[in-house]
């Protein structure tokens, strides 16, 4: 239980929730990142610009935190290159096939008690936990 | 215009939330998923706080007749659990566990994560393209010209 950070986690989570509520209140849209991002290319043409701007804002988030705090946010990755590439492919393909990710199903879907989102979250959490357990077993982590 | 500015601001708040909560740190995420090892439950608080705000906020918002910059609320009406949903979630979860990045953090980390973040995002986009350009996407094929 080292590095337990419930306060910053809760503040960050509340901001994510605030973003989801704002996007619904102002634009009537679900803040599901995999869907918003994919739609920057594949949505109908009049439906792309707001998506691109949402993604630009999202990418600027760490810059704002860096500017305000003077610290670069931690980014530690232990996976080697083949695992990074396989992981990225699975995340991209899986979130589109399953119609959502941690934000669309996890935050937006669960908060409105969608049965599809409940199943999705249970499965991707279980798959993530199983993958980490197996990976640690194989490398003796 | 309003629709675009509101999306930019909502995206920025989302990105700040991902950064403050450390969802952008792959090892932090993998430590949360490591329930059988050295478990760090912090990210459960990210999900808990986000859900609390969204569940209350959505209900307040839906009490209004329409969004500010659009004519209607667009909420998925599909409630049928099918194989695509299940298989997609399992593939996504496996990739998430392998690296520790899901789509939002994969985008937000691009400025702080160096070449591993670029490689992951590139592979993620390739995965999206494989789906969108395949018959699985559910759209009708473009008419032949």
pLDDT digits (tens, 9 = 90+) for A61-104: 999 999 999 999 999 999 999 999 999 999 999 999 999 999 99
Q: Which residues on chain A are in Cβ contact (under 8 Å) with B14? A: 15-16, 19-20, 31, 33, 54, 57-58, 61, 103
Which residues, at least 6 apart from B96, have a Cβ–Cβ distance to it below 8 Å? A87, A91, A102, A124, A127, A128, A131, B29, B33, B102
pLDDT digits (tens, 9 = 90+) for B5-22: 999 999 999 999 999 999
**What local confidence, expressed as pLDDT, does residue B139 receive?**
65
Which residue has tokens 């941690």? A102
Q: Which residues on chain B are in Cβ contact (under 8 Å) with A128? A: 33, 93-94, 96-97
Q: How confident is the model at residue A1 (pLDDT cuts 50, 70, 90)?
A: very low
Q: How far apart are CA B6 and CA A80, in angstroms?
A: 38
pLDDT digits (tens, 9 = 90+) for B79-122: 899 999 999 999 999 999 999 999 999 999 999 999 999 999 99
H or E stretch at A8: helix A6-27
- Tell me: pLDDT of A135 over 60: yes
Which residue has tokens 């739609």? A39
Torsion on CA atoms A64, B105, B20, B54, rounded to nearest 10: 110
A126 → chain B, closest CA residue: B93
pLDDT digits (tens, 9 = 90+) for A10-49: 999 999 999 999 999 999 999 999 999 999 999 999 899 9
- Contact state of A3 with B70 under an 8 Å Cβ cutoff: no
**What local confidence, expressed as pLDDT, does residue A139 receive?**
80
A15: contact with B, CB 8 A cutoff: yes
Backbone angles phi, psi at B72, to 5 degrees: -150, 160
**Rounded CA Rg of chain B:** 18
Burial class (CB in 10 A: 0-12, 13-18, 19+), B136: middle
Q: Which residues on chain A are in Cβ contact (under 8 Å) with B43? A: 9
> Which of A20, A41, A45 shows the shortest CA–CA distance to A117?
A20
H or E stretch at B47: helix B42-62
Neighbouring C-beta atoms of residue A89, cutoff 10 Å: 21
Q: Which two tokens stand for residue A71?
A: 């610290």
Q: Which two tokens stand for residue A99?
A: 């119609």
Q: How far apart are CA B26 and CA B130, in angstroms?
A: 24
- Contact state of B26 with A86 under an 8 Å Cβ cutoff: no
Q: Which residues on chain A are in Cβ contact (under 8 Å) with B100? A: 77, 79
- Contact state of A86 with B98 under an 8 Å Cβ cutoff: yes
pLDDT digits (tens, 9 = 90+) for B35-63: 999 999 999 999 999 999 999 999 999 99
> Which of A101, A59, A18 shows the shortest CA–CA distance to B101?
A101
H or E stretch at A99: none
Which residue in the set A42, A72, A127 is minimally distant from B132, CB to CB? A42
């Amino acid at each position: 239980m080292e590095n337990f950070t419930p306060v910053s986690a809760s503040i960050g989570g509340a901001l994510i929730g605030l973003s989801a509520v704002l996007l619904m209140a102002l634009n009537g849209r679900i803040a599901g990142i995999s869907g918003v991002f994919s739609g920057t290319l594949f949505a109908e043409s009049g439906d792309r610009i707001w998506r691109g701007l949402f993604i630009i804002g999202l990418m600027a988030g760490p810059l704002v935190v860096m500017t305000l705090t003077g610290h670069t946010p931690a980014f530690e990755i232990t996976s080697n290159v083949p695992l990074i590439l396989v992981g990225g492919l699975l995340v991209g393909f899986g979130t589109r096939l399953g119609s959502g990710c941690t934000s669309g199903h996890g935050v937006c879907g669960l908060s409105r008690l969608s049965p599809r989102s409940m199943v999705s979250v249970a499965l991707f959490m279980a798959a993530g936990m199983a993958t980490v357990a197996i990976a640690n077993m194989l490398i003796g982590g | 215009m309003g629709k675009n500015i509101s999306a930019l601001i909502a995206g920025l708040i989302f990105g700040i939330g991902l950064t403050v909560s450390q969802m952008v740190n792959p090892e932090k995420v993998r430590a949360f998923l490591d329930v059988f090892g050295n478990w760090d439950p912090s990210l459960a608080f990210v999900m808990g706080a986000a859900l609390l705000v969204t569940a209350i906020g959505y209900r307040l918002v839906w009490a209004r007749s329409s969004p500010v910059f659009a004519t209607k609320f667009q909420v998925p009406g599909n409630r049928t659990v099918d194989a695509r949903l299940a298989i997609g979630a399992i593939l996504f979860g496996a990739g998430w566990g392998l690296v520790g990045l899901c789509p939002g953090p994969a985008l937000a980390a691009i400025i702080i994560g160096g070449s591993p973040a670029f490689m992951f995002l590139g592979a993620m986009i390739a995965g999206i393209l494989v789906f969108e350009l395949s018959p699985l996407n559910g759209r009708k094929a473009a008419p032949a010209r």
